[in-house]
Structure 1
Amino acid sequence: MPHQLDSAILYPNPEETYYKSCGNMFNCGDISDVGYPFGSYNDLPYCGHPGFELSCNQRNTTIDIMNQTYRVLKINQASKTMKIVREDIMEGNCTQKFVNTTLDNSLFEYTTTYVNLTFLYGCDGGINNIPGIGTIPCGDSNDAYVLPLGAGVSENCSSSVMVPVPVVGAGYGGFVIDSTLLMKTLKEGQEIRWKMDSKACDDCTKSKGRCGFNKVTNQTTCYCPSPPYISDTCSVSTPESRKGLSTGVKVALGKVITFPIT
């Protein structure tokens, strides 16, 4: 809030501050030089898309999707892809929040074929009777169990969580779970692609503007260094290209004529 107040004092027109405010790139650990649609948790709200807010904690980048925190392992803006893994799985073998792993399908999609495997928690005796079931050590007395495809959920367990796993190298062969390979695959992350059309931002940056997000229209917008400050693209002319006019120099009939500015 103090940042916005200072901007209002320095610039009579607040729109004039947008271009300056949204020029930062996100950098954290192995993730570097990431721009729109991503934004940092401490950016002003009109800079990045609200569904692409990144946080940095001890050199680890995270993003929240559908109320679930994911560790971001890689971002490739050219291909519009990133590799993510549930933060609770990165911190241990077992999920700490008993909620299914789901994406915001309006913004993201998986880039590879995947299957939903079911993790069971708080299970009493009799769970090992299911053929092909995998056991995941949780570091305490309550291990987790992973059901093979086609197996029904056991009534002996208090919680179940569905986690999408890439088909290739997923840690299951036929209907038998390889728990060690499964956890290795999960911690390597899964690649997703964001669906936002990049043309509007590309056109903006080509015109020397900076991309931002309009929460009224829910669309990408362009912030410019000179009027109009908010547009689809910026004017070709910039303050630097207009310096010749500010000196009072004009070219007419092949001659340079100087005149004072009043």
Structure 2
Amino acid sequence: MNKSNMYTFLTSSDLFIFCLILLSRKSSAADYWHEECQPKNCGNGLNITFPFYIQGVQESYCGYPGFELNCTKGHGYPTIRLPGNDYIVENISYSSRSFRVYNSAVLNTSNRTCLPQIRNTTLPTAFNYANVTLLYLLSNCTKPLPDDLSRYQVSCGSENRDDWDLAIRDKDENSQNGLENCKKHVVAPVDAHGDDHENGMGNYMKIIRRGFVLNWTASDCSKCQESGGVCGFNTSVYQFKCFCPDRPHSVSCMPGKLCSHLLSGKVLINQLNCT
């Protein structure tokens, strides 16, 4: 008789032992992924979970590409690296898929009046601004300044011509005039709900420190979490993974066919799905 046509019948007790053997062979690796990617705290007590992951604490498969956080900067806050700048992550809303950040250059500014380390930032495709306006930081401006720009002047040391001379919002009526009178400019995104009267002068650091909100686009984690799984991502094939106590699944930890016929008393062994 051809082996492909042979059916082997097992009793319920035999099948139970058979399933235990198969599960034991892979449970250690599955449990590792499931435990490794559990939510963790970072610095100021923020709960870090998918799509974010913590550099040096978790592997990259615990998060979505580009959502790496650094928790070892020494200031007690998680930091995300966006092109050109490090940003302090102040709050994360997983339900709305958004998080509030501010430029790390203004983390400690009590004795400083200028911020030459701020650079232009281009957002990765996974992020977009929620509701921001732009603050122009202008340097190498012509002297003397026109009267209509003097109220935007920032006091900086003359020894460094890369320090900021003006700080002005992009929607201000004098913003174009400022751009025409200064050779260099950096664009800093800031919260659009800020007080316009804070524009320029010495309060521009306060405007930047208030930060702004970013929305993100990443794989949906809800079904996996609701089923008791922990979300992850396979970067080699660029696919979402749901790490479950038994094994990784594609979407959630919903029961499969594994030993689903135990209560039937007998089952065809080649009908089992124990993968």
TM-score computed with the length of structure 1 as normaliser: 0.71
Aligned pair 1:52/2:67, yes or no?
Answer: yes
Aligned pair 1:23/2:48, yes or no?
Answer: no
* Structure 1 partner of 2:97: 80
Equivalent in 136, 141, 154 of residue 154 of structure 2: 136
State how far apart, in whole Å, the 1-side matches of 2:231 and 2:107 are. 32
State how far apart, in whole Å, the 2-side matches of 1:214 and 1:130 are. 58
Cα distance change, pair 153–146 in 1 and its aligned pair in 2 (3 A): same
Shift >4 Å, 4+ stretches: 10-16, 138-143
* Structure 1 partner of 2:222: 202
Paired residue type of 2:177: A
Equivalent in 175, 191, 197 of residue 149 of structure 1: 175
Equivalent in 207, 223, 231 of residue 250 of structure 2: 231
State how far apart, in whole Å, the 2-side matches of 1:102 and 1:11 are. 43
Pairing 1:100-249 to 2, within 5 Å after superposition: 100-104=120-124, 106-112=125-131, 114-123=132-141, 125-126=143-144, 128-129=145-146, 131-133=148-150, 134-138=152-156, 141-142=159-160, 144=164, 145-147=166-168, 148-154=174-180, 157=183, 159-172=184-197, 177-198=199-220, 201-227=221-247, 229-236=248-255
Which structure has more helix as a fraction of its residues? Answer: 2
Larger radius of gyration: 2
Cα distance change, pair 130–90 in 1 and its aligned pair in 2 (3 A): farther
Q: Answer whether contact 1:172 1:182 (CA < 8 A) is retained.
A: no
Q: Answer whether contact 1:72 1:82 (CA < 8 A) is retained.
A: yes
TM-score computed with the length of structure 2 as normaliser: 0.68
CA offsets per residue over residues 98-128 of structure 1, 9 Å max, x none? 5313322x2122222x3323212244633x2
State how far apart, in whole Å, the 1-side matches of 2:67 and 2:47 are. 15
What's the offset of the Cα at 1:184?
1.8
Paired residue type of 1:136: V
What's the offset of the Cα at 1:172?
4.7
State how far apart, in whole Å, the 2-side matches of 1:151 and 1:48 are. 45
Q: Answer whether contact 2:84 2:119 (CA < 8 A) is retained.
A: no
Pairing 1:87-102 to 2, within 5 Å after superposition: 87-92=104-109, 93-97=113-117, 99-102=119-122
Q: Answer whether contact 1:169 1:181 (CA < 8 A) is retained.
A: no
Which structure has more strand as a fraction of its residues? Answer: 1
What's the offset of the Cα at 1:38?
0.7
Unaligned runs of 5+ in 2: 1-24, 169-173, 266-275
Unaligned runs of 5+ in 1: 1-9, 253-262
Q: Answer whether contact 1:222 1:230 (CA < 8 A) is retained.
A: yes
Cα distance change, pair 140–226 in 1 and its aligned pair in 2 (3 A): farther
Equivalent in 37, 49, 68 of residue 35 of structure 1: 49
Q: Answer whether contact 2:30 2:244 (CA < 8 A) is retained.
A: no
Q: Percentage identity across aligned positions?
A: 25
* Structure 2 partner of 1:65: 82
- How many pairs were matched up? 224
Higher RCO structure (Cα 8 Å, ≥6 apart): 2
What's the offset of the Cα at 1:211?
0.3
* Structure 2 partner of 1:259: none
User: What is the root-mean-square deviation of aligned Cα atoms in Å?
Assistant: 3.3
Q: Answer whether contact 2:149 2:178 (CA < 8 A) is retained.
A: no
State how far apart, in whole Å, the 2-side matches of 1:179 and 1:96 are. 16
